[in-house]
Structure formats: structure tokens, C-alpha cells
Amino acid sequence: MAERLTITVNGSARAVEVEPDTPLLYVLRNDLALNGAKFGCGLAQCGACTVDIAGKATRSCVTTVGSVTGKPITTIEGLGTVEQLHPLQRAFIAEQAAQCGYCINGMIMTAKALLERTKLPTEPQIRAALADNLCRCGTHNRIVRAIQRAAKEMA
Amino acid sequence: MVGPSAFGLALSRRRFAQGAGALVLSFGLRSRVGLAQAAPAKLPGDLDHDRRLDAWIKINADGTVTVFTGKVELGQGAKTALAQIAAEELDVALGRVELITADTARTPDEGYTSGSQTIEYSGTALRFAGAEARQILLELAAQKLGVPVERLIVADGVISAQDKPATVSYWDLVRPGLLEREATGTVKPKPAARHTIVGTAVERVDIPGKVTGGVAYVQDLRLPGMLFGRIVRPPSPGAVLTALDEAPARKLPGIVAIVRDGSFVGVVAEREEHAIEARTRLRAGAQWREQDSLPDPKELEAALLALPSQPSTISQKGTPPARTTKTLAARYARPFIAHASIGPSCAVAELRDGAYTVWSHSQGVFPLRRDLAKVLNVGEDKLRIIHLEGSGCYGHNGADDVALDAALLARAVAATGPGRPVKLQWMRDDEFQWEPYGTAMVTEIKAALDDKGMIADWHYEVWSPTHSTRPGQRGGSFLLAGWYLDKPIAAPTPVGIPLPAGGGDRNALPLYDFPSQRVVHHFTEAQPLHVSALRTLGAHCNVFSIESFMDELAAAAGADPVQFRLAHLQDPRGRAVLEAAAERARWQPHEKGDGSRGRGVGFAKYKNLSTYVAVIAEVAVDRAKDTVRVVKATAAVDAGQIVNPNGLTNQIEGGIIQATSWTLKEAIKFDRRRILTESWADYEILTFPEVPAVDIVLLDRPDERSLGAGEASTGPMAAAIANAIANATGARVRSMPLTPAKIAAALG
């Protein structure tokens, strides 16, 4: 049965009326009209749906909305806007680190959590952190360069 | 079910009845123009498809320019590159250009966005249309300013005479209907030397939105009153639905429709998660009659060779010499490979007042409209297809099929009440099990060396099912759901793609100069698994085969692989990329692997008529850990005149990395009955720690035509990897994927 739940997304309390076992991904996309997190597999295999929950990169396709009430949720929309870009977003543009771009939300959100743990990660550390984020276009090396660029700017 | 795998064999005799010439592929429109009686002079590029200037360019009084293209953005940077071309010819800032991509109601019909042809065909159209529009405006300005056209200059749409203060802008001069005229194609575009926008690495226009959660994809389209759909596909190709228990699904809240039409089953719900849960429940409640219709995966090569085929000799020259010193023969193969888009295919469809609107990431909205009209049994005038981006597709994935699925669901919704839009995204298993794969192929090569160690005779044969079951072909529809309806629309008989581009025979003709050669293409009409266009078509396997065998022959002749190629290659642009790649990678003649590390080279001119790529791959084979990795790839590229060096590098690098994944890891899993690849757990692709470093040298040719580059690097890279593995370990693996197990087996 649908319940009235309150979740905190990008700093705002948002009330939604859904079943608590609904995957967070559909609540973000369909109830809150946030496009950043993408449906890729629904199986936590590809990373396209990654959001930040209390500082941890989390797969929103297998995270129920009921389990995250009271925890701060940050989506890529919460990082920055086209006018006021987050250093990671700025770096992805500077490196032109996208082809189709469908996976990029997951890359940026996973990188955000990495940079909060490790200020200046080595290239192997970046590659290891993104090992479970799939990219099909072959943009991997640009993504790594973008994260290195952002890390330098943020450090 | 009347799809190709069940009916391919039965239909094979009908091929000539329906036959060749009935095919409407991306080339169809061009050939139709060619057949027209008393045809006016041919216009450059796709300007010939739609000859009205205002079909391509609109100058707006508000200081903007609207540019229309029938091509689409696939993540390859097409929007940016086309906007660059239009801005360049018009002499306006890039920021003034708004690009409208494929929309059946608004843009020219340019067939498919495929085959790395966007820059060549749409770019050429915009180049000439832009130059002519500029000229028309200059002529108006000349009258107004009382200065001859020759003395006018344009800066960001402002026209002035060099020696006079008076100016007039495009936006002052434009009036309704100004460009409503047929293009003449006679106004020469700018020479490359005067380019200030084309040839520069401008940033892609679509990336800021994509990194900030903007609306970027059809998956992000959100319309008022929108519903969510899901499809319950059969458990195996050709399965027939015998019973369906709908009751458990109907217990869910907000179920708007459950559609059952023959063996097609779908559901529409107010909320997406309920549509997904309903799909799960309907699956559990469905009973199917299945049959074994797939080949034995362990005998795939034999199965392909045994399929009925029409052999055609596509090249025959010289006569085999009487005396040769050494003869080599080998067979190569490729498995079925998935496009494996990260985002499963998606469409939004609405039926309102008898007319459909479909938002789709199809590569060809006009051909899709033709097939949708057939299956939905409505006139094309009742269908508008609007392109919106999807996840990268690399060819014909589920885009068109999901568009029909969504339209069928929208029709069911409209049947019971007011029309509402239905968004439908396939689940991961839908995409992996039902996308049309890149087909498996087999090649056989036999060649003889003369006493100087040169190739004296070359005999090449390739067996391949079709590489295009795209919509828009005559005699049926390739759209998946249509085959399963109660009144099915059967798949047409697939027809090959003619040379020079070719399908299974793409790049089957050697680029080297052999005194005697024979090349045979066996087009097999049946599709053991449902297949269509995957990036590069047959060229991936053909270049893999030819370039692997060139290394085998070089070894037999005791020659260095790079030198051996150069000794057989006259084309100066081909030689230049080989030499540039060898120089950049510091290739040492006769360099030898050390048992685990080694390097190999691969080369091709894509489609034998487009971009040149030579690549040198370095691999690391660890037999103890049972791994093989590509460590580095160094490529040299000649794509003619470069439009956007950053975009070109991105495309080439993407092709190199994707081909590394295909070549080392990928194959669709199946048994005699079912496709067993359902998720990424069953279909591993290259991951970040495995991706090679990539170094690319661009050879700019400002006076040559700009060529497409999206597909050019995949074939050379596949061969370079195989050759590097052989160089490193001595193991020659001829059947992709080149796995550690196969390397171990080759080493005995």
C-alpha cells in the first residue's frame, strides 16, 4: 500500500506517496522529475542509476525508498547546474568526457564519493573505483582524465 | 511467430520473387532519385534528397538560424559537427545555430543515421545550402548598400563593405519565403583555408545537459498524463502463447490495460514500478509452446557454413600462378555480438484523435514510420515520429522495436478512453534477448607466396547472414512485435547491402595489390538468431580475418608485418597511416614478443572507400592468471578534412575500446531453444581497469572530403589484438572472442 514518505533530496524535504519497497530510482525520476539517475539494468550491475546517500555511492535501482527516509540523498542535479557547475561536471565538459553520456551520471556520482574518501586518487585507484560502472561508448580514458582534473581542482 | 529465425529457411526460395531491387535501405532514396525520369542535375550530398533550401536552413528575424537535418545525434557528436558546418558557411557564430534533428513533420528525409555517413551526406548538404543562403543574403545586401557582392564581407551575420561604414544584417534582410526555392548547388562552399569554425575542437553542445541531469534522452521525456508500459516477451524466439493468467497482475493498483494480441503481451500502468511488477506476474502466469529453433552453439561455424546461401564472386582478377613456394589456408570466425546499450531501448507513444505521435531514438524516423504504418494499419500521414536521443546504440538495437511496442500499448489505452502517452523502456533482459545482434560470420582464406615472399594469389570467402533488418524494407516488417500479433506482419526476406559499402562483404576486398585474387561472398538468407546492423557490419570480421592472415603470411615469408603490408600496398594514404602508426608506436622491424607481452598491427580503409586507420596494439598475456589484456593502442587516422579533431579522436578511441571488448570478451550465449544472455552477468564487457591506453595521431587532409570515422577503427583493432597475441605468445587464435582459454588451447 502506498504511504506518505518524506525523503531529503538535494537538501530539500520531499513528500511522496508510494509503497515503501519502491526502488528509489523510480521515485526520483517519476515523482520528483529528476533525470540524472538512469535506468540501466535494475540489477545494480551497471551503475547508471548511482546517487549519493549519506556520502556513499549507491545504486538507486535496488535501494528501496523506505530504507532511505531520514538520510541525505544527493543526485547529480544537486551537485551543480549548467550555470554553476560542480568541479566534476566542469571537468567532464573540459575533457569532453562523454559520447552518448547515458552512463555519465554514474561516473560522476561514483567519482564524487571517491574524491570525498581520497583527495588525489591515483589512476589505478580511479579505475578500480569505477570497475563496476559500465561504459559502452569507450569513453573510459576521458572519464579518468576528467576525474583527475576535478581532483586537482578540488584538492 | 513469423520472424526470421523460424522462417528464414522456408522463405529462402522466395528471394528472387520479391527480390533484389525492392530494398529500401539508406541508399534507397538515392537510387530512386537516380531512376527518376528527366531528373534535374544531381545536388551535392543529401541536398539531392530534399532540394528546397528552406528544408535545411531558416534565417530568423530574431538573430538566430534554424538548421534542419534528417540525421540524428547518437552520442557521436553529430549535432555539434553539423552546427559547425552550417555556422561556417553562413558566417554566423555557432551559438546562433539551433539544430533540429530527424522529425517526420519537420526535417528532410535522410534515411538512416548509419554507416558513418552523417558528415559526408548531411554535412555536404548543409555546406552547399549554407553557402547558397549566404549568397542570396549578400545579393540583397548589395542592392541595399549599393555595393557589388564581391566587395561585401560578413561577420556573424552582419554584412558590410570593406570601405564603407554602412552595415546590414541577415536579420534585417530576411523576409518570409526568402529561402523557399530550389537549391542550385552552384555556390561554392568556403575553401578549407578560410575555415574558422570547421576544423576546431569546439565543445559538444549536448554535454552540459548530460552532466547536470538535464532532459537529454527519450528516457527523460515526461508528458502530462503519461502512463508506463512494459512488455512480456516470450521465453524463446518463436514461442507461442497458450495461456495467460492476468488476475495476479490486475490486483496491482493503477493497471490501465493488459494487452494480449496473439503472442504479444504488454501492460500499461499509472506507475512505472507497477508496470514492472505486473510484467513479473504476467510472466509467471504465461504458458508458452516452445521449440528448438536455434543452432547448436558448439557447432556455430559449421551451422553458418551449412546454411543455404547465394555465392557471388565479388572480385576476380589475374590467374593463379603456376609456381608458388608456399600456400597457407585458415578459417576465421566471429560470434553473435550484442549492441549492449547501457540504457535499454525506450519510446513514448500517444494515439490521439486517430493520429500517433512517437518519440523514438530510432536511427531512421522515416523508415520507421513506414513500418509502423504497416503494422498499425494506418496511413503514414497518421504517424509523426520525432527523434530524441537514447543511450548509445552502435547500430540497430531495440530502438525501432520498442517504438512499435509503445505504439501498440498507446493504441490499447486509446481504445478504452482518451489517448494518453505511454512511456515504455525495455528491461535489461528484453534488450539482451531481443535486440537484433551483430551477426556471427565465418571466413576462409587461402593464399600463396612466390619465391620472393610476395603474395602471388589470394582466395577469400565469407559466409554471413544479413547485416540489415532495419525497418523500411518492402514485403513485410522487421519490427519484432508484428511477428507475434494475432494477425502477424511477417518479416520480409532480408536482402544484402550492395557493394561498394557492402554488408557481410564490407571490407572483404583486400586493399592490397595482389596479382591474382578471387573473393566470394556467401549471403545466407536465414538468420540463425535475429540480427541487424552493428557498428562496422561485416568489416569487423573481414578486417580481422584479412589482417590476421597478412601476419600469418608475413611470418611464413619471414617478413616484418608492417613492411610486408607496405610491400603490397600502393595507396599513398594507406601507406601514410601505416607509417605514421609505426613511427608513433616506435615499431621495430621484426620485433618479437617475450612470451607474455607483444605487439601487432592492423590496417583498413573503412568500406574500402572511407577513413583510413592503422593501429598497433600491445597485449599482456598472463598464462598463470589466465588473463589477456590490451595494454595500449596507438592509431593513425586519415578521415580527410577534419571537422572537429576532438570529436574525431573521441570516435576513433571509442571504436578502439569497443572493439577491444568485442574481440576479447563478447559472445551472446544461447542453447538450441533460448537466448541465455539476460544481464551483464552473462555478457561481460571491458571494464575500467581493463581499458587500454589509447594514443591517436590525426593526419589532416584539408583538401580531401571529410569522411565518417565512427566505425573505422574497429576492424583494424581486432586484427591488431590477434596479431599482438600471436606475437607475444605464438598462439594464433582465429575465432573471436580471443579468450585466455583459446590462447591456452592454441599453445597446446
Residue B320 neighbours by CB distance under 10 Å? 14
Give a three-class secondary structure readout of B189-210: CCCHHHCCCCCCCCCCCCHHHH
CATH architecture of B218-291+342-434: 2-Layer Sandwich (3.30)
Nearest CA in chain A to B632: A141
Among chain A residues, the shortest Cα distance to B714 is held by: A138
Cβ–Cβ of B685/A136 closer than 8 Å? yes
pLDDT at A52: 98
Residues of B in contact with A99 (CB under 8 A): 75-77, 392, 650-651, 654
Query: Which residue in A26, A126, A138 is closest to B656 by CB distance?
Result: A138
- For A108, the closest of B211, B222, B651 (CB atoms) is B211
Distances (CA, A) of B74 to A77, B360, B390, B517: 23, 12, 7, 38
pTM of the predicted model, to two decimals?
Answer: 0.93
Cα end-to-end span (Å), chain B: 45
Is A22 in the same domain as A57? yes
Cα distance from N-terminal residue to C-terminal residue, chain A:
47
pLDDT digits (tens, 9 = 90+) for B682-721: 999 999 999 999 999 999 999 998 888 899 999 999 999 9
* pLDDT tens-digit map of B113-147: 887 788 889 999 999 999 999 999 999 999 999 99
Residues on chain B touching A45 (C-beta within 8 angstroms): 428, 679-681
Residue B289, phi then psi, degrees to nearest 5: -100, 115
Q: A62 and chain B: CB distance < 8 Å anywhere?
A: no
Query: One fold for both B43-198 and B441-467+502-747?
Result: yes
CB pairs under 8 A between A and B: 181
Question: Is residue A80 within 8 Å of A109, Cβ to Cβ?
Answer: no
pLDDT at B46: 94
Phi and psi, residue B557, nearest 5°? -90, -5
**Nearest-5° Cα angle at B167, B165 to B173:** 165
Q: Distance between CA B286 and CA B183 in Å, rounded?
A: 57
C-alpha cell at B595: 612470451
Domain boundaries, chain B: 43-198, 218-291+342-434, 441-467+502-747
Cβ within 8 Å, pair A76-B689: no
Query: What's residue B39's pLDDT?
Result: 67
pLDDT in tens, B363-381: 999 999 999 999 999 999 9
Q: What's the CA gap between B476 and B249, in Å, rounded?
A: 33
In sequence order, what are the residues at sequence separation of 6 or more whose Cβ sits closer than 8 angstroms to the Cβ of residue B95?
none
Contacts of B661 in chain A (CB under 8 A): 138
φ and ψ of B128, to 5 deg: -75, -40
Same domain, A22 and A38: yes
Structural domain ending residue among the three candidates A79, A105, A125 = A79
Q: Which domain holds residue A60?
A: 3-79
Question: Of B71, B117, B715, which is closest to residue B443 (Cα–Cα)?
Answer: B715
DSSP secondary structure letter of residue B118: I
Confidence of residue B575 (pLDDT cuts 50, 70, 90): very high
According to DSSP, the β-strands at A3-9 and A12-18 are antiparallel
pLDDT of B23 higher than 50: no
Q: Rounded distance, CA B113 to CA B119, Å?
A: 10
| Residue B17 pLDDT | 29
**Per-residue pLDDT, B28:** 31
Q: C-alpha angle A137/A138/A141, rounded to 5°?
A: 140
Backbone angles phi, psi at B157, to 5 degrees: 85, -5
Looking up residue A24, the CATH number of its domain turns out to be 3.10.20.30
CATH of the domain at A144: 1.10.150.120
Q: Closest Cα of chain B to A70: distance in Å?
A: 22
> Are B342 and A134 an interchain contact pair (Cβ–Cβ within 8 Å)?
yes
Q: How confident is the model at residue B239 (pLDDT cuts 50, 70, 90)?
A: very high
Are A45 and A95 in the same domain?
no
User: Taking CA atoms, what residue in B is nearest to A91?
Assistant: B211
Asked if residue A103 and residue A129 are part of one domain, the reply reads yes
Q: What is the pLDDT at residue B544?
A: 98
pLDDT value at B181 more than 70 = yes
Please state, in angstroms and as integers, the Cα–Cα distance from residue B637 to each residue in A124, B200, B579, B705, following that order: 28, 17, 11, 14
pLDDT score of B12 more than 60:
no
Question: Which spans in B674-738 are helix H?
Answer: 714-729
**Residue of A41, A85, A93 lying closest to B679 (CB–CB):** A41
A40 touches chain B (CB under 8 A): yes
Distance CA(B483)–CA(A51), nearest Å, equals 40
Note whether A117 and A74 are same-domain residues: no
Q: What is the CA radius of gyration of chain B?
A: 27
- CB hemisphere CA count around B178 (13 angstroms): 21
Q: How far apart are CA A73 and CA A9, in angstroms?
A: 5
Q: Select the CATH number that applies to the domain covering B441-467+502-747 from these four: 3.40.50.300, 1.10.3720.10, 3.30.930.10, 3.30.365.10.
A: 3.30.365.10
| Contact assessment for residue B482 and residue B401, using Cβ atoms and an 8 Å cutoff | no
Both A9 and A73 in a single domain?
A: yes
Please write the tens of the pLDDT for every residue from B429-486. 999 999 999 999 999 999 999 999 999 999 999 999 999 999 999 889 999 999 999 9
| Digit-coded pLDDT (tens) for A29-72 | 999 999 999 999 999 999 999 999 999 999 999 999 999 999 99
Contact status, residue B9 vs residue B308, Cβ threshold 8 Å = yes
Q: For A64, name the nearest residue in chain B, comparing CA atoms only.
A: B273
Give the model's pLDDT for residue B609: 95
Is residue B6 predicted with pLDDT exceeding 90? no
C-alpha to C-alpha distance for B149 and B137, rounded to whole angstroms: 10
ipTM above 0.90, yes or no: yes
Q: How far is CA B3 from CA A12, B404, B512, B599, in A?
A: 51, 15, 40, 44
Q: Round to whole Å and give the CA distance between A76 and A36.
A: 6
Per the structure, the count of domains in chain A is 2
Which CATH number fits the domain B43-198, given the four candidates 1.10.287.130, 3.40.50.720, 3.40.640.10, 3.30.365.10? 3.30.365.10
Portion 99-128 of A in contact with B at CB < 8 A: 99-105, 108, 124, 126-128
Residues A7, A75 share a domain: yes
Q: Do residues A137 and A110 both lie within one domain?
A: yes
Output the pLDDT for position B38. Answer: 57
What is chain B's percent helix, strand, coil content, to nearest 5? 35, 20, 45
